[in-house]
DNA sequence: TCAGAATCATTCGGACTCTGAATGATTTGA
DNA sequence: TCAAATCATTCAGAGTCCGAATGATTCTGA
């Protein structure tokens, strides 16, 4: 490349995705605040709703957070009666988390709030753009189990 | 509405942008770590490079953070000799921040790292999808009043 | 069968980031 | 000239998250 643009950073997808993502999360956090939820609580419920995973360690893996954080998030969701925590009879070390009816209702409410926020934040997203976002999220989620590039100081 | 998608949240742009943005920021943070920079340091430099703003209070406004945080970020960048801090002679309450040559070089390096990260982050995307993503980020950024991305003709 | 290694959840301490309330310096306005 | 406003700075503390113990349970091989 010849003379480089003075602000190459700002033209990178990673950087701008980060900035926009932070704004989006702040917006979403404000919308769900009244329900005593934070974005990560919703994230946990979303993973649960997907139905592929139920133990806390697996949750931590999919969400990319420490197991100890899942404990705190699950504690809170249990207090809200949004999830049930039951020891797996087949392996009593595991806690099996399941969404309660109330949890599903809460999640649906968050869905409505999120889409309302979309109207403000990403009003004119074309279906193609939505598809790209979805595709990226799916593929990145599919990369779980790779060397944790995010927090590897070993 | 009839039966709603079981996971409406996950189909909202705000939520997905938040998740992807967090991953993108983590990735970027890892890449610039060796230069003793965090994403917010780069963010400050990006705003400075845009050239519309120079005092710390203005910086705080554009970045959407507390003025006291700008102090800390600027302290560090000054220690790295990436910026200069000079009292505005016309108003000695103000600190005028300017990128040094080294700061510009650092920023350029971060740009390369960011674009390299793009390659990994969007590895599975087709060029068409990439273009859609870029266009979408442009429009979203404009909508949020962020500094416009310079067109990259590398 | 049984002791030791591995696995899962939990607790706890602490690192890190960020904010908001003082404080000090300077400028502005009446 | 003096009071109010403005900018930068410091500081204490809230909030979030991780990693290292700990305890409980399961798995393994001899």
Q: Tell me the pLDDT tens digit for each residue of B102-142.
A: 999 999 999 999 999 998 887 777 788 788 888 888 878 77
How sure is the predictor about A147, in pLDDT bands with cuts at 50, 70 and 90?
Answer: very low
Residues 6 or more apart in contact with residue A118 via CB below 8 angstroms? A125, B12, B13, B14
- As given in the structure block, the two tokens for residue A105 are 């209702």
Query: Angle B131-B135-A141 (CA atoms, 0-180°, nearest 5)?
Result: 70
A57 touches chain B (CB under 8 A): no
Q: pLDDT value at position B93?
A: 97
Q: What is the mean pLDDT of chain B?
A: 88
**Alpha carbons B16 and A114: distance in angstroms, whole number:** 10
Contact A7 B107 (CB under 8 A): yes
CA of B41 to C1' of D10 (A): 20
A98 touches chain B (CB under 8 A): no
The number of residues in chain B equals 154
| Average pLDDT for A126-153 | 59
Q: pLDDT value at position B8?
A: 85
pLDDT digit string, tens, across residues A101-125? 999 999 999 999 999 998 888 877 7
Strand D CB shell (< 7 Å): A 38, 40, 64-66, 68-69, 72, 91-93, 151, 153; B 55-58, 67-68, 71-72, 74-75, 85, 91, 93-95
**Alpha carbons A128 and A148: distance in angstroms, whole number:** 30
Pairing of strands A83-88, B83-87: unpaired
Which domains does chain A possess? 18-142 (1.10.10.10)
Of the candidates B126, B122, B131, the one whose C-alpha atom is nearest the C-alpha of residue B151 is B131
Q: pLDDT value at position A143?
A: 57
Query: Considering only A61-70, A139-148, B13-22, which range has the smallest mean pLDDT?
Result: A139-148
pLDDT digit string, tens, across residues B29-83? 999 999 999 999 999 999 999 999 999 999 999 999 999 999 999 999 999 999 9
B18 touches chain A (CB under 8 A): yes
């Amino acid at each position: 490349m010849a003379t480089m643009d003075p602000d190459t950073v700002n033209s990178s997808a990673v950087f701008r995705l980060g900035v926009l993502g932070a704004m989006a999360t702040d917006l979403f956090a404000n919308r769900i605040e009244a329900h005593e939820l934070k974005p990560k609580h919703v994230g946990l419920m979303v993973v649960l709703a997907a139905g592929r995973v139920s133990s806390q360690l697996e949750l931590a893996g999919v969400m990319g957070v420490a197991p100890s954080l899942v404990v705190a998030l699950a504690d809170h969701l249990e207090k809200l009666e949004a999830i049930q925590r039951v020891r797996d009879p087949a392996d009593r070390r595991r806690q099996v988390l399941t969404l309660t009816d109330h949890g599903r209702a809460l999640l649906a409410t968050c869905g409505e709030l999120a889409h309302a926020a979309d109207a403000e934040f990403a009003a004119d997203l074309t279906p193609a753009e939505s598809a790209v976002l979805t595709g990226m999220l799916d593929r990145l989620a599919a990369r779980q189990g790779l060397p944790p590039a995010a927090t590897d100081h070993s």
